[in-house]
Structures are given as C-alpha cells and as structure tokens.
C-alpha cells in the first residue's frame, strides 16, 4: 500500500509533532484544526523545532525547507479526506473523536487508512463507528513526538493484515520503533505509566511526601529523567485523569481509581504547564511546587 499523503486532525501538542516528523520523512501533510490560531502556532512551532535540529546538525537547511513546504494547513476537515492516511490527534474525549470520523466518512478515498493517536480509548469501538473498521488502527505517538522513538500500534478486532503491515512500514520510514499492543484500556505505556503517576499523587495526597521530595526521590532513587508529578504537569493533568478514568471504567478494578487530589486539580483548571499551574506554578522564572 503506497502512502504519500497524510492528514493530521488536531494541531495541538501531539498533532504538530506528528506533522513535523511526517514532513521530514518525505510525506505531504495536511494539518487541520477548528482553530486558526492553533494552526498558525503549530506551523511556527514546527519551524522552530526543525531549526533546532538544523542547529544541532541533525537536519540540513535544505531538508528543513523541503519539509516545511510539504505541510499545508486548513480549517476545513473535509480537505484531509482524500489523504492516503489520516491520523486523528484531537482531545482525549471519545465523543469528539467519533464526531471527527463521522464527519470525515463522506470525503474519504476507498483506500484511505484511518488511525487515532488516542492514548487509551478502545480502537475497536472507534473503528465500529466508521465504514472501514478493517482499515482502522491505533497509532499512538509519545510526547514530544520528534524526540521519542516509540510508536504504539494497536490493532482493533477488525483490523486487516494489509493495514497492519502498512503502518509498520510507515513507522520504519519515520525512523521510529513500533511496539505492538492489544486493544485493552490504555494499551502498554499508559497502562503502566498512569497508575505510577496516580500513585505519586496519592503519596502527595496522603502527606507521605511533598511535591519536591516525591519528584526528587524518583529522579535520584529510580533514575527517572523527570519526577512523576513534573511529568504529569508536562502531559496535562486533564489527560492523566481521562486515562485513569478509562482504566478504572474499562477494567473495573479499584486499583485504578483516580486520586481525589488529581480530580481536584483538574476541577480547579490547574492542568499543568499548558495552564501555567499544576503540581508546580510556572508563572515565575523557575517552577515552584504548589503543595
């Protein structure tokens, strides 16, 4: 299956990174969002991030110019329909994702492969709302996309072998490594990572340690590059909570119950770096713990 054009739905943190790596790998990319400012900001960020790669000698100036020329933006979702591959990278809410796929259906080519960058939602269930469950897969990139080497490939119950093989080939062309995951809540990475973050929030909630002591303990005691609360802020506390709820609802096990303190931070709108406050306050020159 020859894939040359890629549509990316959602120009946020994940979407712009996905557009970045596909354009550098030689694919023609159409990036769409409902917000024009998000598209403008995404192109500016991609330009800065590739320029950083040029400065470090990882990408040539010519490759950067070629990659940027391969990215187009649009506010019209239907314009990504004719692409060979579409990657949905919208917010982690199933109703939003379902609406996107339903709106895309009338505009797709017969061979178009649909994928979702969801970090936790059932691929089989999303696929069942389309006209091509056999050409539907989970295509889960890690954040930040240009840096992280792993891509989780998740096969729904109806995904055919041709689609599976095509996505493996795409991952190889991107210069990344594929991990095959079964379609169970949160797949592999988040099935392991999110309960660890949730337990760190419980450790804070129960007064076992402060934000600083918890993060320092995992960085220095377990050799993690970031502490779990710092990482939660980086991911987004709303995303962490959404994944914990998927785990809790999907597996019906109390060990996945979201910590009430995590829920409280999300209710307050303290979602981490993107809102300038989470377990740390980012409004000053250096982050300051909020508890």
The catalytic site residues sit at 119, 140, 152, 190
- The residue whose two tokens read 């040359």 is 4
- DSSP of 141-204: E-SSTTT--EEEEEE-TT--HHHHHHHHHHHHHTT-EEEEE-SSTTTTHHHHHHHHHHHHHHHH
* Tokens linked to 150: 């792993």
What's the CA angle centered on 10, arms 273 and 151, to 5 degrees?
A: 80
Question: How far apart, in whole angstroms, are the C-alpha atoms of residue 29 and residue 33?
Answer: 13
How far apart CA 241 and CA 230 sit, in angstroms, is 15
């Amino acid at each position: 299956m020859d894939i040359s054009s890629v549509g990316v739905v959602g120009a946020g943190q994940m979407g712009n990174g996905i557009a970045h790596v596909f354009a550098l790998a030689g694919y023609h990319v159409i990036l769409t969002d409902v917000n024009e400012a998000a598209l403008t900001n995404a192109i500016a960020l991609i330009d800065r991030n590739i320029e950083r790669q040029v400065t470090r000698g990882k990408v040539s100036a010519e490759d950067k110019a070629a990659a940027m020329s391969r990215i187009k933006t649009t506010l019209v979702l239907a314009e990504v329909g004719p692409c060979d591959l579409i990657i949905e990278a919208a917010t982690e809410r199933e109703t939003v994702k379902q609406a996107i796929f339903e709106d895309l259906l009338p505009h797709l080519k017969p061979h178009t492969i649909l994928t979702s960058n969801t970090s936790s939602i059932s691929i089989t269930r999303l696929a069942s709302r389309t006209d091509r469950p056999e050409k539907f897969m989970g295509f889960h990139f890690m954040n930040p996309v240009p840096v992280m080497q792993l891509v989780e490939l998740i096969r729904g119950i109806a995904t055919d072998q041709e689609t599976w093989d095509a996505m493996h080939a795409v991952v190889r062309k991107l210069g990344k490594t594929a991990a095959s995951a079964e379609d169970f809540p949160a797949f592999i990475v988040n099935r392991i990572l999110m309960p660890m973050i949730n337990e760190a929030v419980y450790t804070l909630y129960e007064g076992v340690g402060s934000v600083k002591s918890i993060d320092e303990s995992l960085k220095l005691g377990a050799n993690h590059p970031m502490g779990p609360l710092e990482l939660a802020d980086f991911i987004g506390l709303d995303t962490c909570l959404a994944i914990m709820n998927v785990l809790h609802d999907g597996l019906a096990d109390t060990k996945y119950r979201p910590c009430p303190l995590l829920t409280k931070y999300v209710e307050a709108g303290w979602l981490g770096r993107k809102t300038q406050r989470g377990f740390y306050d980012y409004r000053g020159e250096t982050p300051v713990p909020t508890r």
